[in-house]
Structure 1
Amino acid sequence: RFYSNDPVGFRDIHSFNRYAYANNNPYKYIDPSGMCSNAPGTDANDVCQSASNLNISQKGIDHIKKSENDTGNLSVQDDGLGNPTAGYGHKVTPQDNLKMNDPISQSKADSLLAQDIAIAEGVVENLVGSLPVSQNEFDALTDLAFNVGAGKLSPQNSPGLNAAIKAGDYEGMSNNLKYTRGVNKQGQSLSLPGLATRSAERRTIFRGNIQYKNP
């Protein structure tokens, strides 16, 4: 028996008792984290698997789009910290040849999003290594990598998250998905309410019981 409720929640008649371990059949199944499972009948989004086999789900993409742009304005804008972003949170670089207020077409925004998500997925794959994750966990970690970038997820900058991954501590991973501050051009660390909301939603995604909204 678990000491607390399995956060994945009700999946089938075997998991109705959320204190039961491995569908109440630990001789046949294992559930080392309580966050994902390989038992028959497990929801596809909660199955443990290698990150190398996963891509972010459409629900995960919709969450990123909504979090990065809830106004529908795809043009180059200030991200609130003095940094130009385009489309769905794309960090504008000199190679983009874009300036503030330049219009961005839907197709261009979608192309930039696909590129940035692919980078974030690679960051997650390298971050978790051989640790199995569920689709929900992968979506949440990809959102984190998309939001903060690879540099902030290094062992030096995110020691708690890296330690939890190394220990296979999924609850610890969930507790280290919080990111509420950003750095402006002057190097000042500022708290942004939108990041706090996104962090809370990210943890809910990780735990597998989010109610997604349309982008």
Structure 2
Amino acid sequence: MADNEGGDRSKVYPDSSKDKNPTAGVGHKLTEEEKKKYPVGTEVPATVRTAWLDADLKDSVGAVQRLVKVKLTQTQFDALVDFTYNVGHGFLRVRNS
């Protein structure tokens, strides 16, 4: 994931979800505050997009570390971080019954 394989989009665009979430960089969904600063169609500086990617990856790493309770190889960990980055960390939560 860190090699930017999905592409870095410099302008804010509506994503393909039914809600058309404003998105930029490497799939970063803009927060309410970011939407005010960077409306759809606006160019986002590379430094900002890189900071978003770093923060989003850090969030994904943290979710895997916090929610996965089995020992993983580095390859498994990396794959789960990549998957979590792409789909969110809701899938990692398991209900205990």
What is the TM-score with the length of structure 2 in the denominator?
Answer: 0.81
Moved more, 92-101 or 112-121: 92-101
Partner of 1:100: 40
Distance, in Å, in 2 between the alignment partners of 1:119 and 1:110 is: 14
Q: Of residues 71, 84, 92 in structure 2, which corresponds to 1:153?
A: 92
Cα shift at 1:80:
1.4
Question: What does residue range 79-158 of structure 1 map to in structure 2 within 5 Å?
Answer: 79-81=15-17, 82-96=20-34, 97=36, 98-129=38-69, 131-155=70-94
- 4+ long deviations beyond 3 Å: none
Unaligned runs of 5+ in 1: 1-59, 157-215
Determine if contact 2:64/2:92 at 8 Å carries over to the other structure.
no
Identity of aligned residues (%): 32
Distance, in Å, in 1 between the alignment partners of 2:39 and 2:5 is: 23
Distance, in Å, in 2 between the alignment partners of 1:73 and 1:144 is: 20
Cα shift at 1:150:
2.1
1:132-160 per-residue CA deviation (whole Å, 9 max, x = no partner) reads: 2122111110111111112243225xxxx
Q: Look at both structures and tell me which one has the larger radius of gyration over its CA atoms.
A: 1
Distance, in Å, in 1 between the alignment partners of 2:15 and 2:76 is: 26
User: How many corresponding residue pairs?
Assistant: 91
**Secondary structure at 1:100 match in 2:** coil
1:38-88 per-residue CA deviation (whole Å, 9 max, x = no partner) reads: xxxxxxxxxxxxxxxxxxxxxx411xx212x2xx53211122121211111
1:80-113 per-residue CA deviation (whole Å, 9 max, x = no partner) reads: 1212111111111102132111101111111000
Query: Whose strand proportion is higher, 1 or 2?
Result: 2
1:134 maps to amino acid: T
Unaligned runs of 5+ in 2: none
1:92 maps to amino acid: L
Q: CA RMSD of the aligned region, Å?
A: 1.6
